[in-house]
């Protein structure tokens, strides 16, 4: 073999080895979120998602899960932890960073949505069409909502009058505004703080869906739960499952396809289904505990709807000041929810 042939052969072998190494590349992604591992979303959505990604990648993507803020920071910092590359993936509540996800807030408005799987599909499509710019700094894996929001209180909420002056946890500025309109005294805090706040008497009740009540021991700390007539809950909150852009961009093409295949509307729906199933389980725990479940009738629910409707008016006016057509976004959100309710 002459020198030129030897060099060519050596280069070819090196290229083949490099290609083989690239094909065998394994990646570990760190996923950080706020809730204990046994809560609905970690147990029924994030862990199954991580397992599916690992399986679909032939074991070449490993996902390390860090629950209950194990890696530090606070729940409102989670979105930026993904954006800034502190971790590779985060799941968080959008309402924890007020004023940042203006267009996405429309899904939080009173009596906007109910079934979580349906509204999560609607929310994904809505974000794609009207709010993609709010997520331009991350690779968005999924957005979703929870199911119908309701009250969990130490003393029964049987009508508007009984809520007046009660200190109630609100999970976002839109929800806190709604609580004010309804006559309560809102106390803002992320959901992991609810257990301690209830046990210490900082709050007299909380707005959360049924699904998270077991993880927070809410049905042990309060004995009253108030639900509303109709398909729509009192409110909902919105969530984002986000990936650091650089973490995604540096993946080889075939592993990007694995992430892409596990992102989007069906992933949003899977998170929503987990929420719906969690609602059934959470409610059943309260029933078995003998707790008092107040079901407001259609007439009383209409009173709440009328009183809370000014929250929507306020939001539309505020968006107008930011050159956002809030009225159009409300209309589009409702149309998408109706589309997926069929």
pLDDT band for 108, please (50, 70, 90 cuts): very high
Range(s) of the chain covered by CATH 3.40.190.170: 28-148+236-278, 150-233+290-341
For the chain, percent of residues with pLDDT exceeding 70: 93
Q: What is the pLDDT of residues 148-174, one digit of tens each?
A: 999 999 999 999 999 999 999 999 999
* Mean pLDDT of all residues belonging to the chain: 94
SS3 annotation, the chain:
CCHHHHHHHHHHHHHHHHHHHHHCCCEEEEEECCCCCCCHHHHHHHHHHHHHHHHHCCCCEEEEEECCCCCCCCHHHHHHHHHCCCCCEEEEEHHHCCCCCCHHHHHHCCCCCCCHHHHHHHHHHHHHHHHHHHHCCEEEEEEEECCCCEEEECCCCCCHHHHCCCEEEECCHHHHHHHHHCCCEEEECCHHHHHHHHHCCCCCEEEECHHHHHHHCHHHHCCEEEECCCCCCCCCCEEEEEEEHHHHHCCCHHHHHHHHHCCCHHHHHHHHHHHHHHHHHHHHHHHHCCCEEEECCHHHHHHHHHHHHHHHHHHHHHHHCCCCCHHHHHHHHHHHHHHHHC
| Residue 259 binned pLDDT confidence (cut-offs 50, 70, 90) | very high
Q: What is the CATH number of domain 150-233+290-341?
A: 3.40.190.170
| C-beta separation of 235 from 305 below 8 A | no
Model pTM greater than 0.85? yes
pLDDT tens, position by position, 282-313: 999 999 999 999 999 999 999 999 999 999 99
Beta bridge partners of 186: 168
pLDDT beyond 50 at 22: no
Q: Is the pLDDT of residue 246 over 50?
A: yes
Q: What are the angstrom distances between the C-alpha of 286 and each of 227, 292, 293, 299? A: 13, 8, 8, 25
Q: Hey, what CATH topology would domain 28-148+236-278 get?
A: D-Maltodextrin-Binding Protein; domain 2 (3.40.190)
Q: Where is pLDDT greater, at 9 or 216?
A: 216
pLDDT digits (tens, 9 = 90+) for 66-89: 999 999 999 999 999 999 999 999
pLDDT at 338: 98
Q: What is the mean pLDDT of residues 242-267?
A: 98
């Amino acid at each position: 073999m002459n020198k030129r042939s030897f060099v060519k052969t050596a280069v070819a072998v090196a290229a083949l080895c490099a290609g083989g190494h690239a094909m065998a590349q394994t990646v570990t992604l760190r996923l950080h979120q706020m809730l204990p591992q046994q809560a609905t979303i970690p147990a029924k959505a994030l862990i199954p998602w991580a397992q599916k990604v690992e399986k679909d990648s032939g074991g070449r993507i490993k996902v390390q899960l860090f629950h209950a803020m194990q890696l530090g920071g606070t729940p409102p910092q989670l979105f930026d932890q993904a954006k800034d590359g502190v971790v590779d993936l985060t799941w968080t509540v959008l309402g924890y960073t007020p004023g940042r996800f203006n267009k996405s807030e429309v899904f939080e408005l009173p009596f906007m949505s109910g079934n979580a799987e349906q509204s999560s599909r609607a929310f994904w499509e809505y974000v794609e069409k009207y709010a993609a710019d709010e997520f331009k700094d991350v690779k968005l894996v999924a957005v979703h909502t929870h199911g119908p929001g309701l009250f969990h209180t130490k003393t029964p909420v049987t009508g508007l009058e009984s809520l007046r002056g009660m200190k109630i946890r609100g999970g976002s500025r839109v929800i806190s505004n709604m609580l004010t309109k309804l006559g309560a005294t809102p106390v803002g805090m992320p959901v992991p703080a609810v257990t301690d706040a209830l046990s210490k008497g900082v709050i007299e009740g909380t707005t959360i869906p049924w699904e998270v009540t077991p993880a927070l021991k809410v049905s042990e700390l309060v004995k009253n739960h108030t639900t509303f007539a109709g398909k729509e809950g009192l409110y909902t909150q919105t969530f984002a499952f986000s990936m650091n852009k650089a973490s995604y961009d540096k993946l080889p093409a075939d592993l990007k396809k694995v992430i892409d295949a596990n992102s989007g509307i069906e992933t949003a729906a899977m998170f929503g289904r987990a929420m719906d199933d969690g609602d059934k389980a959470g409610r059943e725990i309260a029933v078995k505990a003998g707790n008092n479940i107040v079901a407001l009738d259609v007439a009383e629910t209409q009173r709440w709807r009328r009183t809370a409707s000014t929250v929507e008016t306020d939001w539309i006016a505020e968006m107008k000041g930011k050159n956002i057509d809030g009225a159009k976004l409300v209309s589009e959100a409702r149309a998408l929810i109706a589309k997926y309710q069929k």
